[in-house]
């Protein structure tokens, strides 16, 4: 919900009408890091989907496990966006691949776009990281960074040790090689 308060531009409200404190803390972290209110709103939409999913599963946010995270990830990939069910305007459902007249981007059909799914997981991972680091959430993040699902580590084909050894061997003088020793050879150290 939009508040009109520049220090708390958005608030996630639970079914009883109370602000969700864990999300309010996260929003404050985002604002302190210089994120725009529109970013807070975007992240809030991801958290709202997660909160509703957890509510349907009857699991408190701080008791969610990797299993709930996995089920959520499967659900968000298969579900139909609620707004697309009701929309009849310029954002109404179009066949997959058709251009959205507002954004010019190709439509993914009635579901969430792959980028939205990935963004949601990233937001939730960071939310749990903030609470883990502050000691206000679970010790294990239900959304760990799982590189096995990625196309591979960035620059995984590179061997930095071999690269460093090659660079070090190519240095023309002992003085240049001294950078590895803080700029000094033992012989140069003061007695």
Band the pLDDT of 189: cuts 50, 70, 90.
very low
Band the pLDDT of 150: cuts 50, 70, 90.
very low
Ranking 25-39, 52-66, 94-108 by mean pLDDT, the lowest is 94-108
The pTM for the full model equals: 0.63
Cβ atoms 120, 49 nearer than 8 A: yes
Residue 130: its pLDDT value, please?
Answer: 94
Structural domain boundaries in the chain: 2-154, 158-191
The percent of residues above 90 in pLDDT, for the chain, comes to 35
Residue 145 clears pLDDT 80, i.e. is over it: yes
Residue 24: its pLDDT value, please?
Answer: 92
Higher per-residue pLDDT: 22 or 3: 22
Residue 182 clears pLDDT 80, i.e. is over it: no
Per-residue three-class SS string for the chain: CEEEECCEEECCECCCCCECHHHHHHHHHHHHCCCCHHHHHHHHHHHHHHHHHHHHHCCCHHHCCHHHHHHHHHHHHHCECHHHHHCCCCCCCCCCCCECCCCCCECCCCECCHHHHHHHHHHHHHHHHHHHHHCCCCCCCCCCCCHHHCCCCCCCCCCHHHHHHHHHHHCCCHHHHHHHHCCCCHHHCCC
């Amino acid at each position: 919900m939009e508040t009109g308060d520049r220090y708390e531009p958005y608030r996630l409200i639970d079914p009883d009408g109370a602000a969700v404190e864990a999300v309010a803390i996260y929003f404050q972290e985002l604002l302190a890091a210089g994120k725009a209110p529109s970013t807070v709103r975007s992240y809030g939409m991801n958290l709202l989907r997660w909160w509703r999913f957890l509510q349907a599963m009857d699991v408190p946010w701080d008791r969610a496990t990797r299993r709930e995270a996995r089920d959520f990830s499967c659900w968000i990939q298969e579900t139909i966006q609620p707004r697309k069910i009701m929309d009849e305007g310029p954002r109404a459902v179009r066949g997959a691949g058709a251009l959205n007249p507002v954004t010019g981007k190709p439509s993914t059909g009635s579901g969430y776009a792959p980028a939205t799914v990935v963004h949601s997981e990233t937001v939730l991972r960071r939310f749990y990281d903030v609470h883990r680091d502050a000691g206000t959430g679970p010790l294990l993040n239900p959304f760990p960074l799982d590189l096995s699902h990625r196309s591979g580590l960035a620059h995984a084909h590179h061997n930095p040790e071999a690269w460093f050894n090659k660079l070090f061997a190519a240095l023309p003088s002992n003085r240049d090689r001294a950078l590895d020793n803080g700029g000094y050879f033992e012989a140069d150290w003061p007695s």
